[in-house]
Structure 1
Amino acid sequence: MFKNILKVTINSLLKHKSATLIKILGLSIGLTCCLIISIYAIDEFKYDKFHQKHERIFRLLTVDKRNGEISADQPAVMLQHLINEYPEIKEGTRIFSWGKSSVKYQDKLFLERRIFLADSNIFKIFDFPFIIGDPINALNTPYSLVITESTAKKYFGNKNPVGEVMLFDNNQIFTVKGVIKDVPVNSHLMFDFLGSFSSLSKVDNNILTSWNYSFSYIYLLFNNNSYSQVSEKSEGFLKKYRNERISKIINLKLEQLSSIHLKSYDTKSDIAIKGSIKFIYAFSTIAILILIIACFNFTTLSTAQTRLRAKEIGVRKVVGANQTNIFFQFMFETVMFTAISFSLAVMLSLFILPYLNVYLDKQLSLNFSILAVLFIISLIVIPLFAGFYPAFILSRLKPIFIIKGDFDTQILKSVIGKSNNFSFRNIVVLIQIVFAIVALISTILIYKQLKYIDRINMGFDKENLIVIENPNDDQMQSRYDALHQFGMSSTNIESVSAAYDIPPKGASSYYKLRLEGKSKEEDIQMAAIAVDPGFLNTIKCSFIFGNNFVGNSSTSNSMQVIINESAMRSLNLSNPIGEKIIGLDGANPFVISGVIKNIYYSSLRDKVEPMVFYVQPWANAYIVIKTKTNIVKPTIEELKKNWEQIAPNHIFQYSLMNQNIESVYIQDQKAAFLFSIFTFLTISLSVFGVIGLISFTIESSIKEIVLRKIFGASILNVNLIFYKKLIGVVLISILISSPLSYYIVESWLQEFSYKVNITFVPFLLISGAIIVLIFACISLLIYRGNKLNIIHALKQL
């Protein structure tokens, strides 16, 4: 019996080649999207789960009760107090992000960025396997260093690096104590160098013992599931070790290790490599929708073939086949379609993944176990969803109707539906139009937001700004002075200045500031940016009150500050010039000498926070150079040659300010591009499906069209009849899709503090375009039917 079913199935596939190709192509596209999104989602959800104890590892966060802001950086001194206070904590470690550094070994010099410092017990919490060295003692002394396998080969080749010394920033000497395997790509902590946390005590021991410095990231390993005690008792803990005021406004929160990558998108001061759970949900939904549309098209095309296969079914029933035999025959055909489509989807995925990996900077690959599971699910779900209805319709065809030629009116009405019924046809049309409109509107509005970001006035001139990273050593000031002198003598350069923090990196320091004479309860947290006196002029900020710092030296401006509009409002001042604030340097007051318009110092996802700019001699971590228009490239060449003379032991590392700002939204841009591809597929499949269903409906009504033509009906009259059949469905689709699109886009826009206004224009234009497209298809198909010879058409019916 199975042999006969297989033979009939193969014959059917080969006989109806066009329909077979369309069905397989549609299902293959849907399954390819599902495969790729599944692989991507599984990879994202696997982050940090390679650590055996990942379920018991948590990161400590602080939550500001006043505004809900979550921060990841903590005072280093907090860890020991936590261990003393909570016996359920088995181990704890602190991690410090060193940032960029020039690293030298003999004649090899590289600028490195992935450098962490950590406590010696980090290897008791995390699983970073050692190749060489002892994990217990590797980081137990200051200036000890563990490097990754690829870093060891980069600097030492095949030589054993243990015992060798490496020079950081030309003034910090670390001794290599061990080599570990490269950190897996699905780790939220990515590093090439791991130094001992105790090395910080040699720089300034106060930062390890003071509550005023929040720069470390605390990870805790718990004995059991009693970790909730930390959050529940946080107020008492902070009151005991900090003060009552802090305990009232700050709460401690624990974040599970495996949740950090996808669920800490809004966490401030973070070192984690972040993904987005919203993107995964969005793309997963789109992939499933594409597959659903493909299944609908499969169902529609299968039922449309009823007329072509009526004689086959009639003959088989006459010779003894029952309804169950026919039903399973067509269900098996769907299984075959699914298997072929899945195989084609695997081949398409193998072709697409290398390009996708380059675009997303990932290492995605097809896994046999994942494929096996998805294949089994597909063989069960798709035949039930796409094949059940056609098999049910076809198996119900009765030989008597086929012989009379009357199966159109008896059976196909269940597919086509009466004009006044909400039939299967109407449901399919409605769903496909809803999917198309939602996808198109969402894509257009997402691109509008990205264009808005690109064109928004940042509050300063981001163009023609070259940023040079100044290595952190005792020669920082002399390098800056030499570069400043060179810049002022160059005809290509307008100005040279510097700052400790620059856009779009945001501020690294925050202070509680208040007006002189006010109480501590009126403290306002402000981002404190240490700058060179000419920095605000170099980036061309606009002043509302006052002027830039008076004088060119840091000494002459040491007690002046400039604030932004947000800070002025927070301080409740109408004209703050001459007012004094305290908190930057103990009780010493600073005079407000100017107010600038708000500038976007970080992502547009964040609101412009109160900011204070003050002058410091060490504020030259980033040297900012304003060039004249359209001569950025030759200026870079000049600067590089000059740098090689003034800093031969350091790599010339530069970037452009406008590109740095664009890079903040690169993930959004990539997501939008992929979203647009999925949208194109969704719309294409939806439109083809709707057109196919309309064509099927009109073809099945060709007798009606011909008879109306005989009795004198015009093409317009016939068009109006079919318009009426679908106009209700189209309008309902628009009513459903419009609020759904608005909800989807508005949810995404919630991540941005500054966003476009959603108007009704895209909704009206797209809805109108859909109506015109559908009615145009109806008119074209009816026009073709109207061109038929009446006698010939009647003979065909």
Structure 2
Amino acid sequence: MLKNYFIIAWRSLLRNKIYTVINITGLAVGLCCCLLITLYIREELSYDQYHEHAPNIYRVLQSFRSPEKGARLQAPAPGEYQVWGCAPVGPALREYYPEVQHVTQFTSPNTMLLERGDRRFQENNITFADSATFDIFSWKLLEGNPALALKELNGIVLTKSLARKYFGEEAALGQMLRVDNNFQVIVTGVMEDIPANSHFSFDAFISMNTFRKFRPEIFGWWGYVDFYTYFRLPENARIKKMEARTSDFAARNVPDGENGWYAMTFEPLSDAYLYSKAGRQPGVTGSLSNVYIFASVAVFILLIACINFMNLSTARSMERAKEVGVRKTVGALRRSLVYQFLTESVILSFISAFVAVVLALIALPLVQELSAKTLGGPAAVKMVLPWVLFAASVIGLLAGSYPALVLSGFRPAAVLKGKFKASTSGVLLRKGLVVVQFSLSIALMAGTAVVLSQLDHMRSSDLGFEKDQMLVIDYGGDADVNKKIEAIKDALGRHPAVKAASASRAVPGTFFPNAHTEVENPSGEMQAGGPSLYEIDFDFVPTYGIEMAAGRAYSRNFQVDSTQTMLLNEAAAKLYGYANPADIIGRKFSQWGREGVVVGVVKDFHYQSLHRKVEPLALRLAPNESLNNITVKIEGGNYEKTIAELQAIWKTVAPQRPFLYTFLDQSFGQQYKADVQFTSIFGIFAGLTIFIACLGLFGLATYATEQRVKEIGIRKVLGASVAGIAGMLSSDFLKLVVVSMLIAIPASWWAMSRWLETFPYRVSLSWWMFALAAVLALIIALVTVSFKAIRAAMISPISSLRSE
């Protein structure tokens, strides 16, 4: 019997080729999309899980605040903590908490010039790290001893990629590299490349003892911020009990720590990528809301594909009523008929699953490129294959259950006498399913319009500074360049295409420090704060076209500007109690050993992406040794020629340093890379959702048209026009789409309003975004249905009325 079921099922599929293709295509595309989204979500949830001790690894979050005199601060909110903290917390943590097994600290990434023979490259992702690093994290050392690799003074551990860059295939262990033309390091280890699903990534570790040799004083400063602290606990440790003692820890270890200016808490490694709300992260972070959105899209797509599958299955089932009547007359049991229809449905579903896997393997490279993630490659597809087959089985059984149970229950006498007709409940079910799938499709189209508008808003908003035609030369703070920085700027500025040049430690969109800064508040008291810090030269403000809100910019005409003045932005003025920026001019300040008065307030400009509000910023006239970049403002025109000539000038003034440049608008735009990736993937899946919905609508329109062939012929004989008949056939489906619009628009408006709340600078929801989605859905549905309707209306009445 089983063989017979398969034979009959196969014949049925071949006999109805159009519906078979529609069913397989729709379900296969739906399963493929769901599979790819599953791989994406799986990748997002896998960050840092490869570490052997991942469940027992935590990191320290720290908060630095400024209480009023005599006041005691409450515990900070989650968003007030930051991952970037101070050095003394590491040793103090190990001493105060006996349950802590290992503690390690990293510095923020450094830019260094590494040199071996004729191989010389500027590396931007080198950090100093403690010797306990390999006791906590499961990075495999390919060369060297993990217990000793980061203990040695001037020792460096390279990733495999960086080792090959300098040493090729020869062993790197024990080899020497020169750093910044200043000192040498010895390779004490070569480790595997840090996996892509890590919340931070470095190309090399230099032993922390090396850093301690250069700057020993900062390892005792509780207010100096430049370290990330991680620790490992035994399996039975209770992190909640440790967190309950953090206030006592601060009171015992931090100077004046009992007033709450310093606070800390602990965050599991598993929360670092997707769940952390802390600021100043050491690397990329994911978006939990995006994960939820993609999961919803996957459910929507699969639901729409299943609806198509069930709709066509139930619609076509009525044609088999006579077959059921005959088979029941000759003795077929209801049970065997149920098995027959379920077998057909499951076979169709399994064929769709096979096609879906093939499509996923073909589409995987494109999705990986768009998402900038590996997604596990073909091996990951193979890993989730059992789930695909399970889903196909469930879909096949559910889709086949309705026709199997309904048809198997027909009375043979009624069917064979021609007294049987399709039930009203079946028609209502199909209409309801069409409404559901088009409601989801319209919601996704509206969501795509909102997402695109928000991305365009962030990328096109006025940032408060000039970013176009700004060439940024990164020389890594080279000491020789800094010694003659003004001469180099003059040499570059003499080029006819150069309008202006300035030097700074950071440029918008790049890494910057914070600085403990005291400013005289309106009450006349010195109020402490920790604004972001830009160290700049005299030409920075005019070169970047930053406008003044009050006071003046730095000027060479004022000798005191070099050591006794400071600029703030409007947000910083408000931080210190001045709603009117002009009121802070002339107020005293103290910052990093420098004292003087505030001489100007710049208008707030977006030195970070629009994902964050403009935060308080101090702009300090930098000593030359603190500078890292030269920004050259150039005229439009032949960029390649201008850059080549500037490179030639650079080789004459700084031959020891490679000419590394970026355009500011491009580098600043990299902050929106994840948004662009999200938008692209979301748009593609939304488009595929519409495709699947239209495929199902086309199938139902085809079926409905075939059922009314004789009616169409009679109407044409009586004088009906092609347009009139096409309108009649299309109207029923278009009414369903209109109902879908009424359901989808308010639901998507609410959902996208919630999504936009995560952005501090967001686009306003406009009616046209939802109207556009509704109109597009209506047009697509009209074209889909009308195509079949017009073809049916153009058939000669002779053909449609001929009796078989």
TM over 0.5: yes
In the TM superposition, residue 242 of structure 1 has moved relative to its aligned partner by 2.5
State the secondary structure of the residue aligned to 2:457.
Answer: helix
CA distance in 1, matches of 2:217, 2:523: 28
CA distance in 2, matches of 1:791, 1:444: 48
Q: Give the one of 408, 412, 424 matched to 1:395.
A: 408
CA distance in 2, matches of 1:29, 1:776: 21
In the TM superposition, residue 723 of structure 1 has moved relative to its aligned partner by 8.9
State the secondary structure of the residue aligned to 1:405.
Answer: coil
In the TM superposition, residue 488 of structure 1 has moved relative to its aligned partner by 2.5
Tell me which residue corresponds to 1:764.
Answer: 771
Give the AA of the match of 2:273.
H
State the secondary structure of the residue aligned to 1:690.
Answer: helix
Q: Give the one of 607, 616, 623 matched to 1:610.
A: 616
Q: Give the one of 432, 437, 441 matched to 1:427.
A: 432
Q: 1:746-761, aligned counterparts within 5 Å?
A: 746-761=753-768
Tell me which residue corresponds to 1:386.
Answer: 399
Q: Give the one of 685, 694, 719 matched to 2:692.
A: 685
CA distance in 2, matches of 1:383, 1:491: 72
Tell me which residue corresponds to 1:674.
Answer: 681
In the TM superposition, residue 758 of structure 1 has moved relative to its aligned partner by 0.6
CA distance in 2, matches of 1:153, 1:491: 41
Tell me which residue corresponds to 1:61.
Answer: 61
Tell me which residue corresponds to 2:51.
Answer: 51
> Could you give the per-residue CA deviations for residues 475-502 of structure 1, whole angstroms, max 9, x where no partner exists?
1313523321212321111111011121
* Contact 1:533–1:552, Cα closer than 8 Å, also in 2: no
Tell me which residue corresponds to 1:261.
Answer: 273
Tell me which residue corresponds to 1:737.
Answer: 744
Q: 1:90-129, aligned counterparts within 5 Å?
A: 90-129=101-140
> Could you give the per-residue CA deviations for residues 556-601 of structure 1, whole angstroms, max 9, x where no partner exists?
4322222222223333242236322323145x54322222221100
CA distance in 2, matches of 1:353, 1:778: 32
Identity across aligned pairs (percent)?
29
Query: Which deviates further from its counterpart, 443-452 or 711-720?
Result: 711-720
State the secondary structure of the residue aligned to 1:214.
Answer: coil
Tell me which residue corresponds to 1:490.
Answer: 495
* Contact 2:439–2:743, Cα closer than 8 Å, also in 1: yes
State the secondary structure of the residue aligned to 2:295.
Answer: helix
CA distance in 1, matches of 2:414, 2:798: 24
Q: 1:591-602, aligned counterparts within 5 Å?
A: 591-602=597-608
Tell me which residue corresponds to 2:21.
Answer: 21
Tell me which residue corresponds to 1:508.
Answer: 513
Q: Aligned pair in 2 of structure 1 residues 175, 782: CA closer, same or farther (>3 Å)?
A: closer
Tell me which residue corresponds to 2:68.
Answer: none
* Contact 1:558–1:616, Cα closer than 8 Å, also in 2: no
Q: 1:496-575, aligned counterparts within 5 Å?
A: 496-505=501-510, 507-515=512-520, 518=523, 522-551=527-556, 556-570=561-575, 571-574=577-580, 575=582
State the secondary structure of the residue aligned to 1:138.
Answer: coil
> Could you give the per-residue CA deviations for residues 12-45 of structure 1, whole angstroms, max 9, x where no partner exists?
2222222111111111111111222222222232
Give the AA of the match of 2:294.
F
Does 1:6 pair with 2:10?
Answer: no
In the TM superposition, residue 716 of structure 1 has moved relative to its aligned partner by 10
Tell me which residue corresponds to 1:419.
Answer: none
CA distance in 2, matches of 1:479, 1:752: 43
Tell me which residue corresponds to 1:420.
Answer: none
Tell me which residue corresponds to 1:440.
Answer: 445
Q: CA RMSD in A?
A: 3.1
CA distance in 1, matches of 2:449, 2:121: 43
Aligned length: 787
CA distance in 2, matches of 1:733, 1:510: 55
State the secondary structure of the residue aligned to 1:659.
Answer: helix
Q: Give the one of 233, 242, 252 matched to 2:245.
A: 233
Q: Give the one of 317, 321, 344 matched to 1:333.
A: 344
State the secondary structure of the residue aligned to 1:178.
Answer: strand
TM-score norm. by structure 2 comes to 0.90
Does 1:638 pair with 2:649?
Answer: no
* Contact 2:733–2:785, Cα closer than 8 Å, also in 1: no
CA distance in 2, matches of 1:602, 1:305: 58
Does 1:198 pair with 2:203?
Answer: no
Query: Which deviates further from its counterpart, 134-143 or 239-248?
Result: 239-248
State the secondary structure of the residue aligned to 1:671.
Answer: helix
**Any stretches of 5+ residues in structure 1 without a counterpart?**
417-422
State the secondary structure of the residue aligned to 2:655.
Answer: coil
**Any stretches of 5+ residues in structure 2 without a counterpart?**
66-75
In the TM superposition, residue 405 of structure 1 has moved relative to its aligned partner by 2.8
* Contact 2:519–2:588, Cα closer than 8 Å, also in 1: yes
CA distance in 1, matches of 2:725, 2:21: 33
State the secondary structure of the residue aligned to 1:485.
Answer: helix
Q: Give the one of 656, 664, 672 matched to 1:665.
A: 672
In the TM superposition, residue 528 of structure 1 has moved relative to its aligned partner by 2.0
CA distance in 1, matches of 2:482, 2:780: 67
* Contact 2:79–2:279, Cα closer than 8 Å, also in 1: no
CA distance in 1, matches of 2:783, 2:663: 50
Tell me which residue corresponds to 1:625.
Answer: 632
> Could you give the per-residue CA deviations for residues 395-423 of structure 1, whole angstroms, max 9, x where no partner exists?
3344333323333x2x343321xxxxxx2
CA distance in 2, matches of 1:748, 1:589: 45
Give the AA of the match of 1:23.
N
Q: Give the one of 285, 288, 291 matched to 1:277.
A: 288
Q: Aligned pair in 2 of structure 1 residues 319, 583: CA closer, same or farther (>3 Å)?
A: farther
In the TM superposition, residue 774 of structure 1 has moved relative to its aligned partner by 5.1
Give the AA of the match of 1:688.
L
CA distance in 1, matches of 2:449, 2:493: 46
Tell me which residue corresponds to 1:252.
Answer: 264
Does 1:213 pair with 2:231?
Answer: no
TM-score norm. by structure 1 comes to 0.91
Q: Aligned pair in 2 of structure 1 residues 650, 552: CA closer, same or farther (>3 Å)?
A: farther
Query: Which deviates further from its counterpart, 602-611 or 299-308?
Result: 299-308
> Could you give the per-residue CA deviations for residues 143-187 of structure 1, whole angstroms, max 9, x where no partner exists?
111122332222123333222221122213211112222322322
* Contact 1:580–1:589, Cα closer than 8 Å, also in 2: no
State the secondary structure of the residue aligned to 1:261.
Answer: coil
State the secondary structure of the residue aligned to 2:226.
Answer: strand
Q: Give the one of 182, 191, 205 matched to 1:180.
A: 191
